[in-house]
Amino acid sequence: MQHTYSYQSLYSFTSSVFTRIGCDEQAAALATKVLLSADMRGIDSHGIARLIGYVRLWEAGRINATPKICITHQTPSTAVVDGGSGLGLVVAPYAMNVAIEKAKIAGTGWVSVKNSNHFGIAGYHAMMALDHDMIGIAMTNASALVAPTFSIERMLGTNPIAVAIPAGNQPSFVADFATTTAANGKLEILQRKNSPTPEGWVQDQVGNSTTDAHALKKQGALLPLGSDREHGSHKGYALGSIVDIFSAVLSGASYGPWAPPFPAYVPMPPDMPGQGLGHFFGAMRIDAFRTSEEFKEHMDNWIARFRTATPAPGHEKVLIPGDPEREMEKIRTIEGIPIVDSVINELKELAEKLEVDFLS
């Protein structure tokens, strides 16, 4: 059912693929690092399993492997970046670096990006700020799969938000989540197993709650965080909307139901109001607010206190955002990364088609 590979093995294969489609060495290395950070952190839906999807977008002429990425507008604390239709995996770190450089001088930096593509996991980009003693924020819009509260039409992507906050002796606080009840990747896992979903994840094409994991293929929709009005789905809908507006309306990317779809076989929506996918990044220097030492001391105290919050019966302890992914990264660094057979087979075909050495 699955096979385990070392990071080095996946790295070598993935960077060969990116090189083969025309990325220069540096871009291929960066795209590989960002993509595989998902596999390392246990977010398998966003890692090497998506590699073939990126290649298909390139084949369809929707990704430029040698993009001209540039700043089109800026102020001391803001910029708009044009991703030149490049891999989001490369455009996003560029834009996050712009935010970090702005923050060094202005205290904070905020960058909205247009004309980009899927950027991997939001958490990677937010975490870039940590080494600079900054808080990092990353979000992106995505293919429309989510129906707003009271609707049956797919208007928003799963539009994730990531926030990374440095601590002192404690590991960093890293939240990274889709603004839907369940991320699409979790749904895909149930689809592969032909298992039902819990109530409240998806609705069918007429808006009834369903547990059919294949509902999206039948014009159903993912539900915003909160699932239904009574449980706050209007809040999840608002959050997804804010991500869409910050990422795409602010930058000039394509928004809402017009966001370019990730699957290359899905035709581009007609009359797109902007260019490509949009992202939004923020970097806030800790010492633009209080000394880094003081802040970290209190973050350590915050984390330690939450870790010792009384657990509910049947649960061992309270987790801090980022704990499960960090734990997974430790394990996979030692034990390697398991890849399911269906993905291995796809990658094998990809290797043959592109004439690159397959995973060893």
Q: Which of residues 202-261 bind a second copy (CB under 8 A)?
A: 203, 206-207, 225-227, 230-232, 234-239, 241-242, 244-246, 249-252, 255-257
Instruction: Find the binder of a second copy among 21, 52, 130, 152 (CB under 8 A).
Output: 152
- Residue 294, amino acid: E
143 near a second copy, rule: CB under 8 A: no
Q: Which stretch binds a second copy (CB under 8 A): 5-13, 261-269, 315-323, 335-343?
A: 315-323
CB of 225 to a second copy, least distance (A): 5
3-state secondary structure of 73: strand
Q: Is the Cβ–Cβ distance between 110 and 282 less than 8 Å?
A: yes
CB of 360 to a second copy, least distance (A): 37
Site for a second copy in 112-131 (CB under 8 A): 112
Q: Which residue has the tokens 């595989």?
A: 36
- Closest to a second copy by CB, 30 vs 138, is 138
Q: Measured between alpha carbons, how far is 53 from 35 in angstroms, rounded to an integer?
A: 12
Instruction: Find the binder of a second copy among 64, 149, 191, 292 (CB under 8 A).
Output: 149
Q: Which stretch binds a second copy (CB under 8 A): 11-19, 43-51, 169-177, 330-338?
A: 169-177
295 near a second copy, rule: CB under 8 A: yes
Instruction: Find the binder of a second copy among 153, 293, 327, 352 (CB under 8 A).
Output: 153
- Closest to a second copy by CB, 185 vs 207, is 207
Token pair listed for 119: 């950027």
Q: Which stretch binds a second copy (CB under 8 A): 4-12, 117-125, 188-196, 304-312?
A: 304-312
CB of 238 to a second copy, least distance (A): 4
Q: Which residue has the tokens 């633009």?
A: 288
Site for a second copy in 45-74 (CB under 8 A): 73-74
Angle of helix 88-106 relative to helix 25-40, nearest 10 degrees, comes to 90
Site for a second copy in 270-289 (CB under 8 A): 273-274, 284-286, 288-289
Q: Measured between alpha carbons, how far is 268 from 272 in angstroms, rounded to an integer?
A: 8
CB of 255 to a second copy, least distance (A): 6
Q: Measured between alpha carbons, how far is 182 from 187 in angstroms, rounded to an integer?
A: 7
CB of 319 to a second copy, least distance (A): 7
Q: Is the Cβ–Cβ distance between 300 and 170 less than 8 Å?
A: yes
For 134, list phi and psi in degrees, rounded to 5: -125, 155
Instruction: Find the binder of a second copy among 27, 80, 222, 347 (CB under 8 A).
Output: 80
- Residue 264, amino acid: A
The closest of 7, 8, 13 to 346, measured between CA atoms, is 13
Q: Is the Cβ–Cβ distance between 337 and 5 less than 8 Å?
A: yes
Q: Is the Cβ–Cβ distance between 323 and 175 less than 8 Å?
A: no
CB of 316 to a second copy, least distance (A): 8
Q: Measured between alpha carbons, how far is 32 from 11 in angstroms, rounded to an integer?
A: 6
- Closest to a second copy by CB, 204 vs 346, is 204
Site for a second copy in 340-359 (CB under 8 A): none
Angle of helix 51-59 relative to helix 341-354, nearest 10 degrees, comes to 40
DSSP assigned state of 146:
B
